[in-house]
Amino acid sequence: MDGRAGVGPLEESVGYALKQAASALRGAMDAALRPVDLTVPQYSCLELLGQRPGLSSADLARGAFVTRQAMNGVLRGLQERGLVTRPASAPHGRALPTELTPAGRAALEAASAAVRAVEQRMLTALGPAARLRLREDLATCAGALAGPGEGAGTGEGAGTGEGAGSGGVSAGARRLRPRRR
């Protein structure tokens, strides 16, 4: 550990800072969710279902930034625990609308409180305006990265307004497996 190498370009990279913050957030969330016996994907799933009941497995997967298979496994585990319910037959297409059970809602409430505390701690040094701007900038970055990779929606992506919502979870969440063809 010599005193060489001050701050390199690494610390100047936004991507590195993003990875660092995401890693720290994930670790803190994992630690906070451990007492509730929930992993981060499981919590994401519950939170998604709490705010948008009736989502399908694929929608949840996109919302939690994992693959459909992973979300299916998570969903299966939650279902075995009695936290979510899925009808055996699809009412409309092939999508099975998932919903929270009372137990699931209770678990979500506890987990959400813990996660909210973590997020507050993360943002403790930032003012309200800075938080809002940070959120918007992150969404902008994600939107800018989602578009040109394959050629989906090109129009927006830069504005502060997130014009999503009509679809399942968020229009900007199409990554992680689209596979151009």
Map the footprint of its own copies across residues 46-105, applying CB under 8 A: 47-48, 51-52, 59, 63, 65, 95
State yes or no: residue 30 binds DNA (CB under 7 A). Answer: yes
State yes or no: residue 1 binds DNA (CB under 7 A). Answer: yes
C-beta of 67 vs 112, nearer to DNA:
67
State yes or no: residue 176 binds DNA (CB under 7 A). Answer: yes
Residue 85 touches which member of its own copies, DNA, none, C-beta under 5-8 Å by kind? none
Burial of 46 (0-12, 13-18, 19+ CB in 10 A): buried
Query: What residues does 84 pair with on adjacent strands?
Result: 100
Nearest-CA neighbor of 111 among 52, 31, 53, 38? Answer: 38
* Positions 118 through 137 that interact with its own copies (CB under 8 A): 118-119, 121-126, 130-131, 133-135, 137
List own/partner pairs for 151-155 with CB under 8 A and 24 or more apart. Answer: 151/180, 152/178
State yes or no: residue 41 binds DNA (CB under 7 A). Answer: yes
C-beta of 80 vs 93, nearer to its own copies:
93
| Residue selected from 81, 86, 105, 174 as contacting its own copies according to rule CB under 8 A | 174
Query: What residues does 150 pair with on adjacent strands?
Result: none
CA–CA dist 125, 64 (Å, integer) = 27
